[in-house]
Structure 1
Amino acid sequence: MRAVEDMDGFEAEASTASMVSGASSPYQPTTEPVRQNRGWRGIHCDVDYIRSLCGVLKCSQVVLALLAFICIETIMECSPCEGLYFFEFVSCSAFVVTGVLLLMFSLSLHERVPHINWILTDLVNTGLSALFFFIASVILASLNHRSGAEISAAVFGFLATLSYSVNTYLAFRKWKSGSGSQNMRQSSDYMRARSESRDVDCRPEIQRLDA
């Protein structure tokens, strides 16, 4: 009976010692905070962009491309049809690509993908859309059969060309200013690095301390 009590006392002391050693041990199990996935919570509507000139132009481009596509789809007879098919392709492509860019900019989704140069992407899209819309509108106007759908589609095409042209000019200015500021920042970093290296060369005691 004595042995059983001694054994119980030994186990109690052992458990107490293990608890004390566990409490004083530097290797404690850490609980990392669970990172909550923000998901779609960080998405917000950028009202300032929509109200800006670029945002208004983007909205007008989407509307004009959609109207031009609807008008060209209502034409049932064509002879020849290559011009209508080309205009249909241009209007549909411009509507889809510009609509995606409008959503990216207005919902600030482009900030989640910083490795893409969105200014240059917008410049390329607006420039190509302006060029293709102009060519498609000229071809459609030259093959016009005096139908209301063709005249409306050509008018919307020329209006879209004007909107894309203005947006191309604004995007080019924005891209130019962004690349210029980046070059100035790189040159300033280079000059600062050179000045620091010259200071080290002129002060040999710094080299001795580093050694």
Structure 2
Amino acid sequence: MADTTASGSPSCVERLKSYVKTQKGFILAAEILVSFIIIICYAASVYGGYSALAICEMIFSMIFFGIFMMDLDKQILVINWVWTDLFRAGIGAVLYIITSLINFIGGSGDGARIAGAVFGLIAGLIFAYDTYTIFLQVKSNRQHSAAPTDDRV
């Protein structure tokens, strides 16, 4: 019988465990979890249409989690993954905050809608923090790879 534990590459579960322990993996896992909670809250609400944002953001976070976990961003070089992730997180933060404020203000009498709005504000903060960390990464990459300047004309 062949020994399957002595393989050269780590299994998917091992990669998942090790990636969740990183800062980026933890942030993406938190985005997925909070988006799932928001989907449940808005599904229980009278106004279920607001769950579309949470569904889209959860799917995008899951896609980026899978890409970064499997190191596909280093293999697929056609897309600039850092800038794509920056736009995803920035747009998610803005949309979550706007949608949550709308639901928080207009959600009187609907407890599930208010709960979804509160979790939406938390998700907006998580996405904003993700945007901030990605921005710092872009800023540090620019400083390290600045083009040399020549004073001669």
Tell me how large the CA RMSD over aligned residues is.
2.5
Which shifted more, 127-136 or 51-60?
51-60
Misfit runs of 4+, over 4 Å: 41-44
Query: Could you tell me the TM-score, scaled by structure 2's length?
Result: 0.81
Partner of 2:64: 101
Which one has the bigger helix percentage? 1
Q: Which has the higher contact order (CA 8 A, sep 6+)?
A: 2
Q: Distance in 2 between matches of 1:43 and 1:73?
A: 35
| Higher Cα radius of gyration | 1
Counterpart residue number, 2:25? 55
- Asked whether the 8 Å contact 1:43–1:109 carries over to 2, the reply is no
* C-alpha contact (below 8 Å) 1:65/1:160 kept by paired residues: yes
Question: For residue 42 of structure 2, what is the amino acid of its counterpart?
Answer: I
Where do 1:1-211 residues align within 5 Å?
45=15, 48-75=18-45, 77-78=46-47, 85=49, 87-183=50-146, 186-187=147-148
Any idea what SS the aligned residue of 1:61 has?
Answer: helix
Report the TM-score when normalising by structure 1: 0.60
| CA separation of 1:128 and 1:99: change in aligned 2, threshold 3 A | same
Consecutive unaligned residues in structure 1, runs of 5 or more: 1-40, 79-83, 195-211
Note the C-alpha offset of 1:169: 0.5
Structure 2: runs of 5 or more not aligned: 1-8
Q: Which whole-Å CA distance do the structure 2 matches of 1:181 and 1:48 have between them?
A: 27
- Tell me the percent identity: 23
Could you give the per-residue CA deviations for residues 6-50 of structure 1, whole angstroms, max 9, x where no partner exists? xxxxxxxxxxxxxxxxxxxxxxxxxxxxxxxxxxx7986265542
Alpha-carbon offset, residue 177 of structure 1: 1.2
